[in-house]
Amino acid sequence: MQLLDADATAAALPWAALLTELETVCREHAAGLVFCPTRMVVPLGAAGTLLVMPAVGRGLSITKLVTVHAGNASLGLPTIQGEVVVMDTRTGKRLMQLDGPTLTARRTAAVSLLAVRLLGAAEARNALLIGTGAQALAHAQALAALMPLTRLHVQGRSAAASSAFAGQLQAMGIQAQALTPEQQASRPWDLIITATTSATPVLAEAAALSALVVAVGAYRHDMAELPPALVKRSALFVDDPDGARAEAGDLLQAGVDWGQVRGLEHLVQDPAAAPQRGARVFKSVGCARWDLAAARVAALHNPSPSDA
């Protein structure tokens, strides 16, 4: 079994290939060819949580194991640790193990960029990225790779955090300009991405008059990055409708009519029905189907010695 560390996992997951495979998995899941049960959440005593996320598909199947220990920072350990085990569906033979946080960050950003493409923002010229963590970094990398003409502005919790993150991106060759929260409404945005761990809104409604807003940070029902008024007046889309009903705090706190919320699979199967302008919100909560898509890409770009 191949063991890929964080750097090798990132190298095995090129952006364009991820988007293509995500579309394929959407179609296969709609056709009943991919099975993805609800994630299992297991308490690890009082200290942490274990998340178990399997997905079964043609050829390959995966299980992602993730642990979350909020107190690990004081021990010098990562809060989130995980791995994705990739196996042959027919025989169960273990083929590779991928770095969980790296795979999650890249496939989440790829899901966002697929939604951007389907919802009319692929030619966005002005983009605002709110957040400075791993998810924000992955989204900045994806934007630079797939939308190189987009002018990227980044915003953290403070002016210092914004400047530091912009400097980090610039050192990587990604052109980014720091922005403060007070400057959110200073220009008309085509695309806004929120990737924070905030439990309260980080985006002012006035900053998103007609932009596509992609929200990936809030991951519990009691968290929301977006103001309810913005959610209520927008066309609504989610990556995983089942997961969103339990975890998408942005939508739950706004009291949305779930009959009006469409999934990513709907957009992939009927792209002509996707609105290309006006207020649009795409909320991502994640699911193991996207991990399966990433595993397929990694297997293609890192064939086992017997397959070479």
What average pLDDT does the segment 23-38 reach?
Answer: 96
149 close to 116: Cβ distance less than 8 angstroms: no
Residue reference for tokens 């991820």: 18
Give the C-alpha separation, 250 to 235, whole Å. 13
Taking CA atoms, 197 is separated from 29, 214, 219, in Å, by: 29, 14, 8
DSSP letters of 203-260?
A: S-GGGGSS-EEEE-S--STT--SS-HHHHHTSEEEES-HHHHHHH-HHHHTTT--GGG
Q: Domain 119-287 is classified in which CATH homologous superfamily?
A: NAD(P)-binding Rossmann-like Domain (3.40.50.720)
Does the pLDDT at position 186 exceed 90? no
pLDDT band at 304 (very low <50, low <70, confident <90, very high): low
Please report the pLDDT score of residue 79 as a whole number: 86
Three-state DSSP at 71 gives helix
Please report the pLDDT score of residue 308 as a whole number: 37
Write down the domain spans for the chain.
2-103+289-301, 119-287
Does the pLDDT at position 307 exceed 90? no
Does the pLDDT at position 13 exceed 70? yes
Q: Does domain 2-103+289-301 have CATH number 2.40.50.40?
A: no
**Pairing label, strands 40-44, 2-3:** unpaired
Helix (H) or strand (E) holding 12: none
pLDDT tens across 221-278, in order? 889 999 999 999 999 999 999 999 999 999 999 999 999 999 999 999 999 888 888 8
